[in-house]
Structure 1
Amino acid sequence: MIKNLTRGLAALALALTPLTAAGPAQAAPAVEPMLLADAVAALPVAEESRAGYTRTSFKHWNAGLDPADGCNTRAEVLLAEADVAPDVAPGCRLSGGAWSSYYDDQEVTDPARLDIDHMVPLAESWDSGAAAWTAARREAYANDQGAEPSLVAVTARSNRAKADRDPTQWMPPAPGAHCRYLTEWVATKLRWGLTVDPAERDALVGRAENCPAALVHFTPSP
């Protein structure tokens, strides 16, 4: 199943007024949708380096879009992506609800069994350009609710199987998810101006051949 359509509407609204860690930022114009093959060709190619990376370089699961509601970014993504809304207790404790994990085509009714995956993992983003960013920009990246593909609720098992791998090394176990996953991976890299290494570029080019009509939609990050 696809994600709840309300997530798409929420992401569209957020894209019009994107946020940084410091608050509202000037919206960038959306880029015309591109065929996946053309979007892959638009990605800059560079060698990767993980030198100096630590996960703590990316402050994540911050106070979210409305600090007053007690929900951090993780909880807000769960609320936005729910097919059936969970109960919300004081302190934004979630229980019940239902979600579709598109990586492995699983239905989940316990929010504790879900992870919020960074479409392009934090370590991969570091390798691909985020090492040169400010701490504020890395925080904005790690909590990006301004674009639907950036953060996705999936089963903990699939997220941990993916870890920090790129599409050279890992693809969702559900075959029907592959084209969507590729468009969202490429959209996230283009949104944030991240590079691909030669092996990753070659893998994306090859996999894109199986998705000839797939379109990539993205808005450049603030």
Structure 2
Amino acid sequence: MIKNMLRGAAAISLALTPLALPSTATATPAAPTRAEVLNLADAVEQIPLSDESRTGYVRDSFKHWNKGLDPADGCNTRAEVLLAEAVEAPTEAAGCKLSGGLWKSYYDGQEVNDPGKIDIDHMVPLAEAWDSGASAWTAARREAYANDQDAATSLVAVTARSNRAKADRDPAEWMPPLPEAHCRYVSEWTATKLRWGLAADQGEADALKVYAEACETTVVHYTPAA
């Protein structure tokens, strides 16, 4: 796969007398997470290296699809992503039943006008996330990961065919069939790994570095998940 791709292209310490805080004192809110912008090669270097293990994985460990960003609208996460990524908006009936519309799958360049033929792909598949750190998460964090609409790169509407060809494989094993999509795909994969603090095994890391060399002008945008 890599050969094919190459061919195509302080903390400050204060000494103060302790003071008794009033009983109404509250904890200082955590600082908001900060958006990061890195070139792809530097971003790839930030992904921790670790062996992966799928021991104990079951897909149901990641609750999805949940009620989405607005439980009152009747649309689950899948439907909300379809609505957000439509090139032409679908018709929305009672119960958030969608019909018509138009989507362009960037993995393969295909245009699809039937929402039933579109999959919502987890950029880093659930099994791969489990292998690379999510096995140690709480159930709530895994649910947040599986329904993450706070980062545009986490979930992507693509053809069912391309999503199922990808399955749970990483970029050392699978890349989008459209060569023009490769730099974007590696950028979004890297952004998702960094956003969620996920690791990469040696083969994956090596592949990402090779793609990063070829995608030298590609930039990675991500915000660490809360």
TM-score by length of 1: 0.87
Unaligned runs of 5+ in 1: 1-24
Q: CA deviation at 1:166?
A: 0.1
Give the distance between the partners of 1:87 and 1:131, measured in 2 at CA.
38
Alignment partner, residue 34 of structure 2: 29
Alignment partner, residue 208 of structure 1: 212
Q: CA deviation at 1:208?
A: 1.1
Asked if 1:50 corresponds to 2:57, the answer is: no
Q: CA deviation at 1:209?
A: 1.2
Alignment partner, residue 68 of structure 2: 64
From 151, 175, 180, the equivalent of 2:184 is: 180
Q: CA deviation at 1:210?
A: 1.1
Q: CA deviation at 1:26?
A: 7.4
Alignment partner, residue 7 of structure 1: none
Alignment partner, residue 160 of structure 1: 164
Asked if 1:142 corresponds to 2:142, the answer is: no
Alignment partner, residue 76 of structure 1: 80
What do the CA deviations read for 1:196-216 (whole angstroms, capped 9, x no partner)? Answer: 001100010011111000000
Asked if 1:192 corresponds to 2:196, the answer is: yes
Alignment partner, residue 17 of structure 1: none
Amino acid at match of 1:90: A
Amino acid at match of 1:30: A
Give the distance between the partners of 2:206 and 2:123, measured in 1 at CA.
19
Deviation >6 Å, runs of 4+: none
Amino acid at match of 2:61: S
CA RMSD in angstroms, aligned pairs only: 1.0
Larger radius of gyration: 2
Amino acid at match of 2:123: M
Q: CA deviation at 1:27?
A: 4.1
Paired residue secondary structure (2:98) = strand
Paired residue secondary structure (2:120) = strand
Paired residue secondary structure (2:222) = coil
TM-score by length of 2: 0.86
Give the distance between the partners of 2:210 and 2:163, measured in 1 at CA.
23
Unaligned runs of 5+ in 2: 1-29
Q: How many residues align?
A: 197
Paired residue secondary structure (2:180) = helix
Paired residue secondary structure (2:119) = strand
Give the distance between the partners of 2:164 and 2:222, measured in 1 at CA.
26
Structure 1 residues 27 and 96: alpha-carbon distance in aligned structure 2, compared to 1, 3 A threshold:
farther
Give the distance between the partners of 1:76 and 1:206, measured in 2 at CA.
35
Asked if 1:112 corresponds to 2:116, the answer is: yes
Give the distance between the partners of 1:207 and 1:65, measured in 2 at CA.
34
Structure 1 residues 136 and 47: alpha-carbon distance in aligned structure 2, compared to 1, 3 A threshold:
same
Paired residue secondary structure (1:209) = helix
Give the distance between the partners of 1:26 and 1:143, measured in 2 at CA.
23
